[in-house]
Amino acid sequence: MSLSKIRSLALCGGLVLALGASLTACTGGAPTASTSSSATTAATTATNGNSAAGKKVTIGFSAPAADHGWMGAITKAAVAQAGKYPDVTLKVAEGTNDVNVQISQIETFINDKVDAIVLLPFDGAAMTPVALKAMAAGIKVINVDREFNSPFAARTTVLGDNYGMGVSAGTYMCSQLGSKKDAVIAEIAGIDNLPLTKDRSEGFAKALADCGLKVSNRVAADFTVQGGEQAAANLLQAAPKIDAIWNHDDDQGVGVMQAIKNSGRKEFFMVGGAGSANVMRQIKDDNTVLKATVVYPSTQAADGIMLARLLVQGKSLSDLVEVEVPRKVTLFAPVVSKTNVDQYLPTAFES
């Protein structure tokens, strides 16, 4: 299927948040009658009993410091999700950007013999050895957002779709700019040396290329308000004409919007990234250049809590025929505009 067809499907019917944009099941040979019966029983149990209280589950949770609106929302959502289950006890480690401290936190969870660990690592590679140690101790590790560098370090990984964010942003711009082939597209990236920034930019460029457009002006910021304002000011000074801007991150977008306000310019529209409530309210009010944002779900750790509980209790996702929790779950990156903002605002984070 061509990217243009995929793009059309995404805009028309793909704005559905669903666990498992990359769910894969494998079978080996024809099932015997007993295997089929067992699978049917397990699937029925999962369908009927996932929300019912079951085996007591103790989950350790660790994430970086909440020095960013999105990161703060990650922990808040995880705690709220755990609170929905009377059979879950959640042990929350203090957020830290010190890898050694986070390693120590996981060591403590291992010594405490928790049933599962939901871990958003400050540094995925650095946290891999201790995650491997937890798995070797029989603890279910659910890796969130930043991947380990070993497939054996986690039972399940929950990810946002950084490349998909870029594709979604570019797709939306193509739909808005139509046949305007000389459109000037600007991009305000996050931290340029991070793989996620590279993924977002590559997806954006690919989607634009499919409709004959390209990025004319690009600057990088640092995911902060101050960095966003400075980067946007530099961009606006360097580019006298712009038709559309994609800003990778809604937290740094607070600064970007301030720079735009200071410039007095209104000839372009802007698309945000991550999906903050602040941005969604502006989209709903429809009185600024900000017309859309692309969601990078802050519910990833909450999904991790849910999956940890299912794994320990021997359950699966009730909407799947597969009787095991998937190895990897990649969340969709939908475009939020004025037409569908009310659907996404309740789960948006505050920037």
Q: What is the CATH number of domain 52-159+299-330?
A: 3.40.50.2300
Q: Which of 252, 241, 234, 236 is nearest to 293 (CA)?
A: 252
| Domain boundaries, given as residue ranges, for the chain | 52-159+299-330, 162-295
Q: Is 162-295 in the same CATH topology as 52-159+299-330? A: yes
Which class for 25: exposed (0-12), middle (13-18), buried (19 or more C-beta within 10 A)? Answer: exposed
Per CATH, the homologous superfamily of domain 162-295 is Response regulator (3.40.50.2300)
Helix, strand, coil percent values for the chain (each to nearest 5): 45, 15, 40
Evaluate whether 152 touches 132 at the Cβ level (below 8 Å): yes
Position 67 scores a pLDDT of 84
- Residues above pLDDT 90, as percent of the chain: 79
Would you write out the chain's pLDDT as a tens digit for each of its 351 residues?
444 443 443 443 333 333 333 333 333 333 333 333 333 434 444 445 788 889 999 999 999 999 888 999 999 999 999 999 999 999 999 999 999 999 999 999 999 999 999 999 999 999 999 999 999 999 999 999 999 999 999 999 999 999 999 999 999 999 999 879 899 999 999 999 888 999 999 999 999 999 999 999 999 999 999 999 999 999 999 999 999 999 999 999 999 999 999 999 999 999 999 999 999 999 999 999 999 999 999 999 999 999 999 999 999 998 889 899 999 999 999 999 999 999 999 989 987
Q: How far is CA 313 from CA 20, 56, 142, 308, in A?
A: 20, 8, 14, 9
